[in-house]
Amino acid sequence: MSDSTSTSTGSTKYSLPMIKGHGDDIYQYAAIRMNFSSNIPMHTDLAALQAHLAQRLDLIGHYPEPEAWSLERLIADRCGVDARCVVVTNGATEAIYLTAQTFAMHHRVSQPTFSEYADAIAMYRGRPQQGRALWLCNPNNPTGDVFDVEQVKTLAERHDLLVLDQSYEHYTAERLLTPKAAVALGNVVQIHSLTKIYGVPGLRVGYIVTAPRLARQLRRHLRPWSVNALAIEAAHFLLENAAPIRPDLNEAQRLYTRLSRVEGLTPQPTKTNFMLCQVAGHTAAQLKDYLMSRHAMLIRDASNFRGLTPHHFRVAAQLPEENDALVAAIDNYLNP
């Protein structure tokens, strides 16, 4: 994945392929026993958060803060930046659409990557464009690639705006650009996801860290009350009481090695807990259907990522015994 492979989205027809075919679409299926489709580790203990929120259900009877100022101050303190530099959003997805709406530039997206960038840009195309913006997912979904800090800084220097999605920042051991460094660069919109950091995708809490002048522009388009009261409360609790998720990257590499030995399957090297694979002689949809119907396993059909094929799928490492079961099931399908 490099800047030279970036593709313009100016002629992209607006659609919602990612939303209609995303990972962790377990709600569409019954009796899934093992879920490899989401990059978020599936065995996170949320009991303490659940108990806390059960005691704060009174919050649903009142409006939340129109903007999550208290949470922005807490995050800013943790990041070592001014509170004016933090904008809390309804998940990283709202941060993506908010950024696309705010900055009318010539946007470029490095592919393959999270499709919501291109979808968000397409939603707001047709306006006069000034300046050049590059969108970068780091670590990248679905490939597991990681740009190092110096590469990121170089890309920021080459563009008027760098939109840097670090939602999976805790899912790699590689050194990444810090929030303080993003603010100092002055032209970086750095997106973070409490959903990914703490394994709470149902709550939808994300945030942006950026220079004050860019944050002011973003706030002009921020919807009031976009983050609900329970989500704000949960974010406070997690930041003050819980440790970020740290996937077992050694186990992810073991899964990669085992998948590499399956005839007819080609996994791509990764620096995260998830990996992109390509299957020969079958489509990812066929493999997904087999695993779901015969083994109650769920994988991520990655064919709706721009630049990929019907043969691509993504898996995230789970428990060792689950990973071994996945490898055996795929091998049985491809090499009966």
Specify the pLDDT at position 234.
Answer: 98
CA angle 195, 201, 202 (to 5 degrees): 130
- pLDDT recorded at residue 27: 58
Sign of CA dihedral 170, 150, 164, 68: positive
pLDDT in tens, 63-88: 999 999 999 999 999 999 999 999 99
Gyration radius from the chain CA atoms: 20
HSE, CB side, 13 Å, CA atoms: give it for residue 203.
24
Fold match, 20-44+247-334 / 47-241: no
Across the range 257-281, mean pLDDT stands at 98
Taking residues 192-203, report their average pLDDT: 95
What is the structure's pLDDT at 100?
98
Mean of per-residue pLDDT scores for the chain? 92
Checking if the pLDDT of 7 tops 90, the result is no
CATH superfamily for 20-44+247-334 is Aspartate Aminotransferase, domain 1 (3.90.1150.10)
Give the contacts of 190 (CB within 8 A, at least 6 positions apart): 164, 166, 177, 179, 182, 208, 209, 210
pLDDT at 152: 98
Which has more confidence, 2 or 24? 24
Please give the pLDDT value at position 268. 98
Q: Provide mean pLDDT across the span 221-245.
A: 97
pLDDT of residue 135: 98
Domain boundaries, the chain: 20-44+247-334, 47-241
Distance CA 98, CA 103 (A): 9
Class of domain 47-241: alpha beta
Q: What is the pLDDT of residue 24?
A: 54
What confidence score (pLDDT) does residue 32 get? 87
Model pTM score: 0.91
pLDDT at 141 over 80: yes
- Residue 12: its pLDDT value, please? 36
